[in-house]
Each structure stands twice: as structure tokens, then as C-alpha cells.
Structure 1
Amino acid sequence: MMMASWRRTTLHCLLWVVRYVMCREVMVPPGPLYRVAGFSMSIPCAVTGYEGSRTQDFEWYLYRDDSQGRQMGVISTRDSGFAYAPFQPRVRSEEVRVERDSGDSVRLVFQRLRADDQGRYECYTPSTDSKYQGNYSASVAVKVIPDTLLISYTRSLIGQLFLEGAELTLTCSAAVKSKEHTHLSITFGVRAAMTGSGSSTGTERDIIAIDKELGLRPGRGDSYQKRYDDGELTLMKKSGVGGMDVYVMRMSAVAPEDSGAYFCEASQWILDPNGTWQKIAQRSLEIGNLTVQPLADSLRVTSTPRGEVTVQLGSPLTLTCEVSGLASGGRSGLLVKWIRTRAVSSEDRVVTGEVGEEEVARYSPNGVVTWRDDSSRGGGGSMEKETEGRYTLRLFSAHPADSGVYRCAVSVFAGKRIPGPSETATVTQRSEGVTVNLKTKEVKVSALAQLPRGPLLKRGDTVTLLCNVSVVTTGPAQVEVQWLQKVFLPVQEGGTKGGLDREGVEEKGRVLASLTHEGLSRLYTNNSSEVSVDRVSPVTYRLRIFSAQSEDQGLFVCQAEVWGQDPQGVWYNTGAKAQSENVRVYLYARAADLLLIPLVVGVSSALFVGVVIIATVTCCFMKRLARQRSPK
């Protein structure tokens, strides 16, 4: 009996729960909702726990504050003639409409809110249930506040042309005077360039903004984010006149992709009772079109003097590099280099490994001057920045090695005064070449290499080679002598070995040793024999190879280069040089080496004969002894 009563009670409770769960419920956001006259308003409404079709109908009513509880039909999803007279024109023009989010969720939309639209809005759902139970409507209060959002700008862009790397500064003033607590957001953005009719096309991009929670936020994309992180994109707020706040956006260096129509947008936000931010007013101002010209189109690098210039030996040489077509303000870093191209023969390039083009000096963006070879200039030059965009190279005493074609190469780092070590230049451009010729004094030089008279050279002897140098010139002169060896190499069958002449000898010799014009000896040989080089008379230079071996054989030449002295006392290479004819060095075998062969042959023969004799005698003696012992 008790069990049956418990079951009835449990079933009754379950039915009550199911009935409760299935009760219709209509939901709108909590109020009051503050919205601004003249701007759009959207009120969501949803129904749950209903029976019947999944597409529910909705009817909206308005109870104005001064209507004393009388309702006005605004719009219905099932009856096109539902709206009262004040709303009928607005419904027909779709200024007031219902938009469906789903079958059981809609939103009431006012395209342009009016002051008399203030009141309590009721969302009602006609019943599709078998029983009338639950909540069939819900309402929310709407407060319409006046429009107090103001926005203006101080300077417009009217088809303005900017050079790549120039700084762009845009200002926008905005204010809102509301009795309610609202926030103001400011956004600077860009669209495609405006057309002649004043309209704009293309994708809109936000550059930087102060958002509704008053936080600073760069636009989406790596470009604006990176600029913001590097401090190249900023947005500041400062107080203005008349209660207006001034917002200043600065881009330290514009790029060609920054071309377009710029605008400033101000939005008024309010925090609704449900905790979500709602945009209740917005105004946008077109600041104007901006066109950014690439540096590659505007940059100009020129050098003076132009064409060809001839200077006397030891005279100063001045070259000037001028850079134009850059954005004003000097916000871009410049790397300025002077490049010299010298006429280098193919033969010299093979021997020395030199190339025709070399860097003389550079002026880095941070003002540091670096020379290709400080020791070679000996403080005899300078590179200076005279004015913005003007750089001067000075050689106080020109030498023959300074002749060649000079070009000024400029690398521009747009918007970066001091670029990082891994920073890539925006553009690099060279000037036309300036040909520099040096008037040098005439220098004649000749070289003659020879072996001194003496006995035949043998392996292990000291080989002595002499080089007699004759120099005809005016003024002080010194000679630098190099000794080169051309080694005998075998010629491959079917042709000659690469780098060999007809006799199977290296065409290009290797440097064994040298004696500089300063009297310093330098040894380069890789052979096992020791070598030395010295000067035995004013015109004679000597090379000695101690304990010469087979690999020291070959053809030897001496090469002489003449160094002169300029009026400042600095020694320089005149470029005059001469090379001697080949001197053949052949090493004969020593006497002890010649006696070694017969000695070895003789000893070997004697031992062979002795062994044969002993073997023969022993064999015969053993046979005879065996016959004597045999029984008769």
C-alpha cells in the first residue's frame, strides 16, 4: 500500500517537472537600454520551451512613457498590417524591421531611432502549445538619449604626394557629452584611393585605435603590429579646445602600400545591464587621399666632378656624392660607399686573385667612417658628411693605385635612422662613374736573373740565383723583388696538362720569397729546403736555396716592382714592373750516389758466386764420402 502511494507521488513529481521544463519562455535583454537618437537600435528576442512549429512568430508592442499604459503595435512576423499608423511608413520602408537569427530567435531593428521611440518594448509570441502555460511575452525599457558625438580634423589630405620614408601625422578631434557613462573609441584607417565622385572602393584596413575599453590596439596584420612594436606607429591623446580631445596618429615612415584614402572614426559605447558593450553612435570623417612615391622612383645619386679628371701625382683628390629625392627631415638612415673599379688584366687576376671592383671607404648611418685598408692610406684621406645629402671623399696625396673609375653607392633605410645589423636596405643606387687618371713620372725598369759561374750543382748543394735590376727615373725610388719558381710537371697522354707549356712546365709560377721596398724579407715556399733572400749590392738581389733537393729544380724568374715617394714622403707603388727571363736549375747526382750502384751490383754478384761455389763443393764432397762408406 505504501509502495503504490510512493510510486504515484514520484510520477506526479516527474509530470510536474516535465510540465515545468516544457513551459514557454520569452526572453529579451535586461534594461534599461540606452540608445542614441539618429542611430540604429537592435533588440533581440528568443522563445524556448514551446510546442509546435520550430519557426515561431513574434509581435512587437511599444508602451510609450506618456501613453498611460496604452500599447502600440510596432511590427509582426505574421501580419503585414499589424503596425499602428505612426509605424506603418517606417515598416514599409524597412526602416523598422524584424530580422531572424533562427526560427525561434529574432531581433527588432530600428535603422534610425527617434526621440519618441523611447518607452517599454514588449516581445509577444502567439501560442502554438496544446496548453496555455508559461511566459508568452517579455519587455525591456529603452531610453533614447540625444546625439552629442562630435568629430573633426585639423588638416586634410587632398591628393597629397609623400615620398617613401616620410613621416605622416594625422589629427582627429572628438568629444561626447552624455549624462550617461559612455566610452569613446577612436580609429584611424585607410581604404583604397577615393574616386572622382568622392566615393571610396576597396578593402578597409584599421591602422591603429583606442578601443572601447580605452586600450591601444594596432591594426590587424604583421605590418602594423611590427611598426607598433618597433615604435614606428603611435597614437596619442591630448586635451584640445572647447572640450574636444585631440588624437594624433604618427607613422614614422610611410611605404608605397600605405597609399589610399584615410579616415578617422569615433564611436560611442555603453555597457548594457547584461555586461556587454554596445556601440550606440558612430561618426567617420574622410581625411583625404595619400599617394606614396617609391624611393626607387625618386632617389637620385650623383657624383662630381663628372666624366674624367686628371690629377698630378701627390696632389689632393676630392670627390663629392650628392643624394636627392629623399623625404625631408632626415628620418632615413644612409649608408654611403665609394666604389673603385680598376683595370686589372686577366693574367694579374689569375696570379693575385684580385678583382676589378673594390670598396674604398664607407660612411655608415651612425656616422662611423671605415676604410678598406687603413694601413695603406696611412691617414692620407677622409670621408665627411658636409650637409644633409652631401658626402665628400678626400685623398690628400693621390697615388697611381688610386686611379680608376669611382662610383658612389647609396643604400637607404627608409624611416630608420640607425638600422639594425640584419636590416635590409629599402633601395640601393649608384652614381655614374668618375674616371680618375694620375699623371705619373716615367719609370723604366728591367730585370735579369742568372746563375753565378761555378761547378755543376748537385743534390744537397746551396743554389744561388742573382737578379740584377735597372731603374731609370727621377726622384727617390725603391725596388721590391719577388722570386717565382716554375716546376717541371709530367704531360698527360693525349694532350697537354692544364696550365703547362710545351715542355711540361707550369706556366704560372709560385712565389718562393720576396724582398719588399722597405727591406723586409718574406718567405712563401712550401718545399723542405730552406731559402733566404737579400740584397748584395744596390742593383743585385740574391736568392739562396740551402740543401737543394729534386723538388727545387725548375725554371726561376725574378720580378721587380718600382716604388716611388710622393711630396709628402709617402711611398707608393708606381705600377712599373719587369720580369726576367727563365733561369733553369738542374741538380746532378753526387759522386757517392754514382758509386753506390756498381758497389751494390759487385757485392751482390760476389755473394752469388760464393754461394754457388760453396754449394757445388759441398754437394760433391758429400757424394764422395757416401761412396767410401758403402759396403763392398
Structure 2
Amino acid sequence: MDGITRLFHSVILLIAFVAVNDGRVVKVPVGPLMHVEGQAVSIRCSVSDYEGPREQDFEWSMIQSGYKLLNLVSTFNDSFMGPTVRDRVNSGDISYMRLGDDSVELRFKKVRATDSGVYRCSTPSTDSVISGNYQADVELKVIGDRLKVSTAIPKSAVSEGESVELQCNSTRGFTEHTFLSVSWSLKKESGLLEEILTFGPDDKIKVGSNYIQRYTDGGLRLDLPGGGFYGLVLKSAKPSDQGEYVCTVQEWVRQGEERNWRKIQEKSEEIGKVEVTPTD
């Protein structure tokens, strides 16, 4: 009796496995996808476990008002587009790119705030039996470019041994689920930036390789009073600290199944030049 029961359970599990894993699978990225207005944007769609021709076709639509579909682009029907997006499709502002027989990208040259919404990728059936999923949805959020960076050096000429303060202030419109990182760098004669210290986007601190010992010894100090103000203090200035300093602010979101950090925009401003007078 126990053997029959175990066999019965095994058959049930096998049927459940086949039901879950059998059939076409259409996939898009895990959303929401957040981008800044004016940027180029691409959204990938792929299909697997299908029958029929190796090269599959795709259609992209946007869901309006929760249920109405606005047709965008199709890999096999040139007249698929809706009248309100015809000019953008014909100009190439909205297009698609095949990445392979089983994948395609929806592309925007310059995404607009009005492009925020839910996008649907569909694949016509080429299967002998309808099984699996034939469409997948992902939300796109487009935010305005409101990130601004301003900088200051309260005292740009110091004697060796004095402290130098590098101020970097950022302002932005309220944006849900975005985070900032701030980096201070020293511009070398080659024009390359030597990273001093980065704060964020997860409140962690990353120190440039040439400044690790100095940070460990307390020679670098963050000043974070809030309100978009970020300050870095270089204690006991050295002649090697002389040069042009740059502040870089980056805006980040967590995205994908693993919720990894993804940068959505970056802005840099020169803080100014620091002169260090050596002491005898």
C-alpha cells in the first residue's frame, strides 16, 4: 500500500512539473523600469520553449487607462502602429531591434514623460497546442531631469597642514525609490580623475586606492548635515592636494529580480582649484 501511495504521489508531482514547465515562455525584465526623460531606452523581450519556425515574431503595445491597447511596433506587420504614434515610429523615435531569432528590443531614441505606462510584448502562436504564456507586461516609469549640482570651496588657498573643505550640494524633484551617490575626485594633469571618496547610494563609503591610508588615519572626514549638502574635509593639506577638484552626483534605482543597483543619470561639476602653500 505504501508503494502504491508513493507511486501515486510521484505521478502527481510529475504532472504538476509538466504543467508548470511545458509550453511557450515570453519574458520581459522585472519592473518597474525607471528612466530619465530624454534618454535612450530599450526594453528586451524574449521567447523560449516554443514550436514552429526558429525565427519568432513579436508585437509591442502600450496599455492605456488600464485596459485599452495602443499598438506600437510589430516585426511582421508594418501597419500595426496606432495613429497617435505613427510619426514617432516613422521617424525612428520608436522602433524595434531584433537581437536574435527569439528576442527583440523595443527602443526609444528620447523617452518622454508621457511614455510612462505598462508595455506588453506579444508573440503570435506557432505551436501545435496552445500552452504557456504568449505575452508579458512590464511597467516603465519616466521621471523628469531635475537633478542639479552646485559646488563651493570656502577657502581655496591654504597653507600646508590646514584643512580643505570641498562642498557639493544636490537638489532634485521628489522621486520615489531613487537614491543618490556623491563622489569627490582630483583632476590630474593627464585629465583623468583620481577618485578620493564616494558616499552612497546605500550610505556606504568607498575610498580611492590612493586615499585609503589617509582615510584610515582620519585625514578624510565626511560632513553630512542633510538637506542635499555633502561635504568632504581634507585634514592636514599636503602639496600633493593642490589641483582641480570635481564633484559627481549619480542617481540610482534598484532593479531586476536581484534588485541590483542601476545608475539612471549622472552630473558632474568642478568644485574649483585648491592651492596649497608649502611650509618651511
User: Would you call these one fold, judging by a TM-score over 0.5?
Assistant: yes
Q: Distance in 1 between matches of 2:91 and 2:154?
A: 36
CA positional deviation for 1:286: 2.5
Q: Measured at CA, do residues 170 and 26 of structure 1 come closer, stay the same or move farther in structure 2, by a change above 3 Å? A: same
How many angstroms does 1:62 deviate by? 0.9
What residue is the counterpart of 2:214 in the other structure? 227
RMSD: 4.3
Partner in structure 2 of residue 72 of structure 1: 71
Q: Displacement of 1:121 after TM fit? A: 0.4
Tell me: higher relative CO, structure 1 or 2? Use CA pairs within 8 A at least 6 residues apart.
2
Match of 1:327 in 2: 277
Counterpart CA distance in 2 for 1:23 and 1:104 is 15
What number of residue pairs does the alignment pair up?
Answer: 269
Counterpart check, 1:267 vs 2:250: yes
Match of 2:123 in 1: 125
The residue aligned with 2:199 is 210
**Of 150, 171, 176, which residue of structure 1 is paired with 2:167?**
171
- What is the distance in 1 between the residues matched to 2:260 and 2:252? 6
Asked if 2 retains the 8 angstrom alpha-carbon contact of 1:209 and 1:235, the reply is: no
Aligned 8 A contact 2:151 2:269 in 1: no
In structure 1, C-alpha distance between the alignment counterparts of 2:148 and 2:63, rounded to whole Å: 31
The counterpart of 2:185, out of the listed 182, 186, 189, is: 189
1:250 is aligned to 2:230: no
Mapped contact 2:167–2:271 kept (Cα < 8 A) = no
Distance 2:103 2:241 in 1: 43
Superposition deviation, residue 213 in structure 1? 0.9
| Percent identity of paired positions between Structure 1 and Structure 2 | 32
Report the 3-state secondary structure (helix = DSSP H, G, I; strand = E; otherwise coil) of the residue aligned with 1:71: strand
Structure 2 equivalent of residue 140 of structure 1: 138
CA offset at residue 116 of structure 1? 1.3
How do residues 351-500 of structure 1 correspond to structure 2 at under 5 angstroms? 389=280
What TM-score do the two structures reach when normalised by structure 1? 0.35
Cα distance in structure 1, aligned partners of 2:157 and 2:36: 39
For residues 223 and 87 of structure 2, the distance between their equivalents in structure 1, rounded to whole angstroms, comes to 46
> 2:147 touches 2:171 (CA, 8 Å); kept in 1?
yes
Indicate how the Cα distance of structure 1 residues 42 and 165 shifts in structure 2: closer, same or farther if over 3 A, else same: farther
Query: Are the counterparts in 1 of residues 31 and 138 from structure 2 also a CA contact under 8 Å?
Result: yes
Using a 3 Å threshold, how does the CA distance of structure 1 residues 214 and 39 change in structure 2: closer, same or farther?
farther
Deviation at 1:122, TM superposition (A): 0.2
Runs of 5+ in structure 2 lacking a partner? 1-9
Using the TM superposition, give the Cα deviation of residue 148 of structure 1 relative to its aligned residue in structure 2, in angstroms.
4.2
1:487-511 Cα shifts (integer Å, max 9, x gaps):
xxxxxxxxxxxxxxxxxxxxxxxxx
**1:78 & 1:164 partners in 2: Cα distance?**
70
The question of whether the paired residues in 1 share the 8 Å contact of 2:61 and 2:69 is answered with no
Task: Work out the CA distance in 1 between the residues paired with 2:47 and 2:153.
Answer: 52
For residues 595-615 of structure 1, what are the alpha-carbon distances to aligned partners after superposition, in whole Å with 9 as ceiling and x for unaligned?
xxxxxxxxxxxxxxxxxxxxx
1:294-305 matches, within 5 Å, as none
Cα distance between partner residues in 2 of 1:91 and 1:280: 27
In structure 1, give the amino acid aligned to 2:277: A
Conserved 8 A contact 2:241-2:274? no
**Amino acid in structure 1 at the alignment position of 2:51:** E
Report the AA paired with residue 203 of structure 2. L
Unaligned runs of 5+ in 1: 1-9, 194-200, 293-325, 331-388, 390-632
Name 2:267's counterpart in structure 1: 284
The SS at the match of 1:225 is helix
Tell me the CA shift for residue 206 of structure 1.
Answer: 3.5
Describe the shift of the 1:211–1:79 C-alpha distance in structure 2 as closer, same or farther (beyond 3 A).
Answer: farther
After superposition, the Cα gap between the structure-2 partners of 1:233 and 1:16, relative to the gap in structure 1 and judged at 3 Å, is closer
